[in-house]
Amino acid sequence: MVKLPTRVRVAISQEIPNKPKNQYQSQTLWIWLSLFAVCGLFAALKYIDWEDGNPVLAPWRKEKLEQELQEIDNAEQYALKAGIPGYYPCYSCPKDSKIWLNLNEIWKYGVTSKSQAGRYRSGLPAPNLYYTVQYEGTISDCLKQEKIQIYHYPLLPENIVREIPLNRPPGNKIDR
Amino acid sequence: MDKIAWPPIHFSAVLLDAISDKAPLVKKVETAISSLKLSDYGAGLKAISFITIAVLPSNKVHEESITYYAGKKAIDFHLKLDYPTVAEANETRFLQLTAQLFLRGLREAPQEKITDFDWAQFQHDAEQIFMEKGWVTA
């Protein structure tokens, strides 16, 4: 399904003409206190249900928990690769801040899950990179795969042939 | 480090690794359409990012979306192709699928929110380029 979020800017005027300042402050305080009380009551009522006198999770909390547990199972280990030959940012290079990558060479390994899908929503770190899904599974399994890939990166033929081989992919600042 | 220059119309891909050799092909579509200048169609849109997705149907991480950033006057498309179709596609077929997906994105964009932009003309011009390349038919 296509989502179309809307952004709305709200301008708030801070000037209230013909109104005593202390009265305005008092009213504002009461409004805030009331809001806090309502929110607190609402939250307390919503998180807990009662069954036969026993406290249980509210249905919406149960549902949210199950959804979030499922999201943890729906993770993936990915690689960002060079879509065209050229210079790319390098965080693991000993001296330079850029590195030449040939077509399809690895720039970075990473892990994401459904709940983190917004990670590259507004674009990949560099314009000529593309994203490949290398492994799908639980977040724990994906983190293991990511670690294996990062640790084995120095042995890749594309890295071995470099004058100074890198210890990890150009886009990985740390081992994880 | 120098600031990275992004093209106003940018293409990339999210593909399963088994078919990742097709990903660089989206740059051909980007190059073909780079002759279109967004400013010629109005001031309402300054950047388009288009991501072609082809992952297994069971994948829950990558969903379709079209997001408009009013502040940046930028629009991001994340649209899906059918994985088995992409897996079987040769280069020409993949380019056709990507071009058609881009046109679908333009049709489904929130055009009513981006008023200072001639969507009809832009879509027409993009379609013309794709037709010349043989990626879409009349």
Task: State pLDDT tens for residues A65-75.
Answer: 998 888 888 89
Indicate whether this complex's ipTM tops 0.85. Answer: yes
Number of cross-chain residue pairs from A and B with Cβ atoms under 8 Å apart:
103
Per residue in A95-114, pLDDT (tens digit) is 889 999 999 999 999 999 87
In the predicted model, is pLDDT for residue B129 greater than 60? Answer: yes
Per residue in A77-99, pLDDT (tens digit) is 999 999 999 999 999 998 889 99
Work out the mean pLDDT of chain A and round it to a whole number.
82
Interchain proximity B10–A123, CB inside 8 Å: yes
d(CA A31, CA A150): 54
Which residue in chain A is spatially nearest to B73 when comparing CA positions? A7
**Residue from A70, A95, A108, A130 to probe the interface with B (highest B Cβ count within 10 Å):** A130
In the predicted model, is pLDDT for residue A116 greater than 90? Answer: no
Q: Residues of A with CB below 8 A from B9's CB?
A: none
CB-closest option in A74, A97, A124 to B1: A97
Per-residue confidence band for A118, with pLDDT thresholds at 50, 70 and 90? low
Interchain proximity A130–B60, CB inside 8 Å: no
Q: What is the DSSP string of chain A?
A: ----------------TTS-HHHHHHHHHHHHHHHHHHHHHHHHHHHEEEETTEEEE-HHHHHHHHHHHHHHHSEEEEEEEESSSEEEE-SS-SS-SEEEE-TT-EEEEEEEEGGGGGGGTT--SSTTEEEEEEEEE-HHHHHHHHHHHHHHGGGSHHHHTSSS--SS-TT-SS--
Interchain proximity A136–B70, CB inside 8 Å: no
pLDDT at A98: 94
pTM for this one?
A: 0.79
- When comparing pLDDT for A7 and B109, which is higher? B109
pLDDT at A108: 97
Nearest chain B CA: its distance from A3 CA (Å): 5
Interchain proximity B10–A127, CB inside 8 Å: yes
Interchain proximity B12–A131, CB inside 8 Å: yes
d(CA A60, CA B107): 36
pLDDT at B25: 95
Instruction: Estimate to the nearest angstrom the gap between the alpha carbon of B114 and the chain centroid.
Output: 17
Interchain proximity B16–A132, CB inside 8 Å: yes
Which residue in chain B is spatially nearest to A125 when comparing CA positions? B4
